Amino acid sequence: MCGIAGFLGSAPSAEAARSDLERMIATLAHRGPDAKGFHVDRGVGLAHSRLAIIDLVNGAQPMSNPRGSVWMSFNGEIFNYLELRKSLLAMGHRFRTESDTEVILHLYDRHGDRFVEHLNGQFAIALWDAERSRLLLVRDRVGIRPLFHRRSGGRLWFSSEIKALQAVQPEQARIDPRGLVQALTFWAAVEPDTVFEVVRSLPPGHLLAIEKDGRETITRYWDWNFPECGTPVPFASFDDAAGSLRDLLVDAVRLQLRADVPVGAYLSGGLDSSVIVALVRNYTDTPLRTFSVAFEDAEFDESTHQQTMVRHLGTEHTTLNCRREDIGAAFPRLIWHTEAPVLRTAPVPLMLLSARVREAGYKVVLTGEGADEVFAGYDLFKEAKVRRFWARQPGSRLRPKLLGRLYGYLEHSPVANPAFARAFFGQGMDYLDRPVFAHMPRWTTSQRALGFLSDEMRASVGDWDAAAFYEKTLPPQIMRWSPLARDQYIEAKTLMGGYLLSSQGDRVAMVNSIEGRFPFLDHRLIEFANRLPPQWKIRGLTEKHILRRAVADLLPENILQRTKQPYRAPDCSSFFNDGVPLDYVADLLSEERIRHAGYFDAARVSRLFEKCRSGRVSGFADNQAFVGILSTMLLDDQFVRRKTF
């Protein structure tokens, strides 16, 4: 895993080009502390910061093909590189290294742009074809690794993180009002948008080609896809499908354990990470080394379940005990690395945990991320199922009571008060026949933060409608899919792709030079699961039904049958000590600073600040608004005003 950066377009001189690349890659040292590399050619520059995981000696980048006609800087891992290498050798290709990077170069020589279809991995690639004066930027199928670009000063600039783009043109760092509103609604800006003006993100599953004459072509080479309603089930039986799923999971884990360094795993205590660790134990000879987060607050803590799995598998285990004050102290550092507002503090403990992983001598960890999106594990999917059932008889008093079976892990559950539950989950019922139906309650909660925007910000975005905006990005065939498929697609494209794999994934691991790997996001497994009937994923109100069946003999019964508890951390309370705000919080959220920044209404923020300070915040809406406002102010401080933290 690494950091990449570069440009396309003429530089004043080779020395100036090298200087630009040096400044860019210096900001990405945390992504690749093991080595740096550069390649400057006429009209192009490539830079690389390396985290050495495969072929530790000979895998340096940028790397060229044997003729020196194609150069590449690559961030990520290709898990099936050994199989690809064997196939290429049989075709007459000759290799100089044992790296997965060189495999990509040979694939491009043989298949051109379609090389990407052969890759099983997580990657962001910048490839320069010198013979054709052509640049390719490519991102993995689900968006595990980031890749940003911007046109400025007659050049196209690209990098793994936005801070590298701003290293060469800091005066252009400005928060985009429309991107900010998206982030405060969907938990992340909708790609290709970002929260910064001009800066764009290459969407997952896309390839951007810039030709010699300047023409740009962006191609989607992969997407989540589902069968139309009424399509015959392509499996002999449920049990047959469960067996095939187990085989796929075993192979995905086997591939993602490939490394020339030790590989560990996160163990949350939930079903998903427990499945990954159990597969490592039962199907490989990899030594088990696991890591987890524990909290002093019982509402967030899952350490009892973590220890159940530690005893069951006999793993060597490290627990990070995370306190509220740890979260508050580390929050500014988090925002420097997320480069985006966040609505929860949950990424902070994972950032602190990745430091423990590094201290233990590990560079790679497997995680259970993605299982909830692939197998419909979230309460949102069950909630939508109940709401659709309720919508068929909107006057029913009994049907909405099914919501009481959800959110049992929350101290302040939205279903604890039946009247509140009916009012809250009754929102968006008029969206029943629209693809965003399931997500309207969540987006309505998130949008509470928009009520704190300043008049100027409101005017700049006009009468923007979140649902209408997002629906324009969806594939035209989505309404021919099952309701659950629609919900899964949107979840994968918003919360997972924009937030979980970024602010709570790549960024919090790479800050400490740790590569996270996600076996549940193997594209073969996603394609398999997407063909499953909805009732095999959610049976009644039991989530991930087929996954539980596939691994039933590998886990203790209390883990196997455990209801999903989303990972969370203390929010507002992390920023106050007995009612006294942390110094940076008091400064950034003072009326003077809020007015000067111009994003939010100072009087409204002051009222929310006082509510949080006095401990009167309990619901998601106020917590998310507070964290969203604070993280936006930190973003402004660090990137726009360029203050250190």
CA distance linking residue 504 with residue 510, whole number of Å: 11
Distance of CA 563 to the CA centre of its chain: 23
Same domain, 268 and 372: yes
Angle at alpha carbon of residue 641, lines to 499 and 183, rounded to 5°: 20
For residues 517 and 510, is the Cβ–Cβ distance under 8 A?
A: no
Count of residues making up the chain? 645
> What pLDDT shows up at residue 286?
92
Same domain, 430 and 498: yes
CA distance linking residue 113 with residue 596, whole number of Å: 48
Residue 494 lies in a domain: yes
> What pLDDT shows up at residue 558?
92
pLDDT in tens, 375-431: 999 989 999 998 898 888 777 777 767 776 676 555 555 656 666 666 667 667 888
Structure tokens at 305: 């379940």
Same domain, 354 and 411: yes
Residue 453 lies in a domain: no
pLDDT in tens, 327-380: 999 999 999 999 999 999 999 999 999 999 999 999 999 999 999 999 999 989
Same domain, 596 and 551: no
Domain boundary pick from 548, 568, 588 = 568
For residues 480 and 444, is the Cβ–Cβ distance under 8 A?
A: no
CA distance linking residue 188 with residue 194, whole number of Å: 8
> What pLDDT shows up at residue 421?
66
Of 134, 112, 133, 150, the C-alpha closest to 5 is 150
Neighbours of 585 (CB within 10 A): 23
CA distance linking residue 631 with residue 636, whole number of Å: 9
Name every residue whose Cβ is closer than 8 Å to that of residue 239 and which is 6 or more positions away in sequence: 549
Q: Nearest 5°: phi and psi at 635?
A: -60, -45
Low-confidence ranges of the chain (pLDDT < 70): 1, 400, 404-405, 407-424, 426-427, 644-645
Q: Where are the beta strands (DSSP E) in 385-485?
A: none
CATH number assigned to the domain comprising residue 440 = 3.40.50.620
Same domain, 436 and 532: yes
Q: Which sign does the torsion angle of CA 274, 276, 277, 279 carry?
A: positive
Same domain, 377 and 391: yes
Q: Which sign does the torsion angle of CA 52, 54, 57, 60 carry?
A: negative
Same domain, 310 and 165: no
Residue 464 lies in a domain: no
For the beta sheet containing 121-129, the strands, ordered from the edge strand earlier in sequence to the opposite edge, are 63-64, 70-78, 121-129, 134-139, 206-210, 216-220
For residues 492 and 238, is the Cβ–Cβ distance under 8 A?
A: no
Same domain, 179 and 309: no
Residue 455 lies in a domain: no
Residue 277 lies in a domain: yes
Same domain, 397 and 512: yes
Neighbours of 455 (CB within 10 A): 9
Structure tokens at 458: 């409101």
Residue 470 lies in a domain: no
Residue 460 lies in a domain: no
Amino acid code (one letter) for 420 = F
> What pLDDT shows up at residue 215?
94
Distance of CA 171 to the CA centre of its chain: 28
Residue 458 lies in a domain: no
For residues 37 and 93, is the Cβ–Cβ distance under 8 A?
A: no
- List the domain range (segments joined by +) for residue 591: 572-640
Same domain, 269 and 392: yes
Of 158, 151, 142, 9, the C-alpha closest to 72 is 158
Count the domains in the chain. 3
- DSSP-based three-state secondary structure for 111: helix
CATH number assigned to the domain comprising residue 173 = 3.60.20.10
For residues 22 and 97, is the Cβ–Cβ distance under 8 A?
A: no
Name every residue whose Cβ is closer than 8 Å to that of residue 22 and which is 6 or more positions away in sequence: 38, 47
Same domain, 116 and 41: yes
CA distance linking residue 262 with residue 442, whole number of Å: 39
